[in-house]
Structure 1
Amino acid sequence: MQIKSGVEQAICIMVMLATQHNGDAVTSDTISDRLDVSPSFLKKIMRMLVVKKLITSTSGKNGGFQLAKDIDEIRLLDVFEAIEGTPPFLKTTSLVHQIFSDQHTASIGEQLVIQAFGNAEERYREALGQYSLGTLLRKTFNVGQLEQFDWNAYRRV
């Protein structure tokens, strides 16, 4: 399984918003510039985060994006599902039924494979659900209180 690059970008967006000075809004241009990614693709990612209510969007002169929740309420699973969605990892086409004439046995085998992938997916999602953005950031910086930045004042040189 390969995770879309949008998940990494979404996590970086969330990190920038979590460390923004006073929780002020950060413009999409600022985020795009800092991450050095396509503004149009970034806006699609940000829209997915807005739809999942992880960030909010405000228009106007002081507009931009802000976290919609406390950093300790945002889980990696939330970010993952905002970008990747929630459909099951494995989608079968019942191809195994083309191999065996005994359709009952083929169905049993297919269900066992679906169950194995389902169990693995459940553990995967459970593991992502254990990590909050707040915990990850505090561990990354080895601090109790996060440093804040004014991302809107930054420009890539």
Structure 2
Amino acid sequence: MKLNKSVEQAVYVLLLLALQKDHRPLKSQVLSQNLQVSDSYLKNILIKLSHADLVQASASKQGGYQLAKPIDQISLKDVYFALDQQTKTITFSHLSKALFAEPEHIKESEQKIVQTLLAGEEAFYERLDELKLASLLHKEAYTTGVIDWEKRFE
């Protein structure tokens, strides 16, 4: 399995926001500077996180991005789904029809494959949901927020 870099960056955005001193809003430029990624690319991630109700944006001089809910309520599955990484559909090109003459057996075999893939996918999502992002942090650090990310580069 390959982890999409957007998923990794989204996780770290959420962790940065959880650790932000007093949970004050952070501008996208501060987030991108701390993560050493393009601000325009990070804004795309932030938009997806916002649409998934994981972050909220406030447009003001003191505004920026904040968590929309506590970090202990956000799972890796939430991030994965926010970035639309889940499987869309399982399709077959039906090559078996060119090789085998038993249509009913072909149909049953394809159904077995689909059922197995769907069960594996469901187990994968269940495991992602078990990992709450708060478990990646020290509780005392995210409860009130202890790092002022804006001052890190001053």
* TM norm structure 1: 0.87
Q: CA deviation at 1:80?
A: 0.9
Instruction: Note if 1:30 corresponds to 2:25.
Output: no
The equivalent residue for 2:140 is: 145
The equivalent residue for 1:135 is: 135
Q: CA deviation at 1:89?
A: 6.7
Q: Structure 2 stretches of 5 or more lacking a match?
A: none
Worse-matched range after superposition: 97-106 or 116-125: 97-106
Q: CA deviation at 1:88?
A: 4.2
Worse-matched range after superposition: 102-111 or 65-74: 102-111
The equivalent residue for 1:42 is: 42
Look up the SS of the partner of 2:71 in the other structure. coil
1:77-136: per-residue Cα shift (whole Å, max 9, x none)? 101111134444744343433432322211111111111111111111101111111122
Q: Contact 1:96–1:110 (CA<8 Å) still a contact in 2? A: no
The equivalent residue for 1:16 is: 16
Q: Which residue identity is paired with 1:61?
A: K
Q: Which residue identity is paired with 1:150?
A: D
Q: Contact 1:28–1:39 (CA<8 Å) still a contact in 2? A: yes
2:152 pairs with 137, 151, 154, which one?
A: 154
1:15-61: per-residue Cα shift (whole Å, max 9, x none)? 10000001100110011111111111111111100000000011111
Q: Separation in 2 of the partners of 1:49 and 1:152?
A: 21
**Which structure 2 residues correspond to residues 7-156 of structure 1 after superposition, within 5 A?**
7-88=7-88, 90-138=90-138, 144-146=139-141, 148-155=146-153
- Aligned residue-pair number: 151
